[in-house]
């Protein structure tokens, strides 16, 4: 008998608790605006969470999230983080 394999959800095993969404021993916070477009975002009930990082808001406080799949950060010669060239050119076109 062939066993049907279901594609496991990224948040398989997550449980909603009084403190928030509990997943693998961590309490997950909902994703932030910067996460929009990231492939890691996973929905649970009516909210979206990041199975990779419990507190997405903190991940973005010091620049671009290094787990993000939709934005790539590069480091220039001076060690400064730069936004990807496509974003930079759009920003330049807008005069910022
Ligand atoms: S990997 Fe980073 S950008 Fe993607 S959902 Fe998680 S915190 Fe947000």
**What SS3 class is residue 59?**
helix
Residue whose CB lies within 8 A of the most ligand 1 atoms, among 11, 36, 40, for a mutation test: 40
Report pTM.
0.70
CA 38 – CA 28 distance, rounded (Å): 16
Q: Is residue 43 part of a domain?
A: yes
pLDDT on residue 93: 84
Residue 2 has pLDDT above 70, yes or no: no
The answer to the question of residue 5 being in a domain is: no
Gap from CA of 48 to ligand 1 centroid (Å): 11
Range of the domain at 24: 15-93
Query: What pLDDT band is residue 91 in, cutting at 50, 70 and 90?
Result: confident
Any domain includes 23: yes
pLDDT at residue 96 in the model: 63
9 lies in a domain?
A: no
pLDDT band at 94 (very low <50, low <70, confident <90, very high): confident
CB 64 within 8 A of CB 71: yes
In a domain, 3, yes or no: no
Domains in the chain, number: 1
């Amino acid at each position: 008998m062939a066993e049907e394999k279901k594609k496991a959800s990224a948040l398989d095993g997550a449980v909603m608790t009084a403190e928030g969404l509990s997943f693998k021993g961590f309490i997950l916070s909902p994703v932030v605006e910067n996460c929009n477009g990231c492939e890691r975002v996973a929905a649970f009930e009516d909210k979206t969470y990041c199975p990779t990082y419990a507190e997405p808001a903190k991940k973005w406080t010091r620049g671009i999230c290094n787990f993000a799949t939709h934005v790539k950060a590069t480091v220039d010669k001076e060690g400064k983080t730069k936004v990807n060239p496509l974003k930079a050119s759009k920003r330049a076109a807008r005069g910022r």
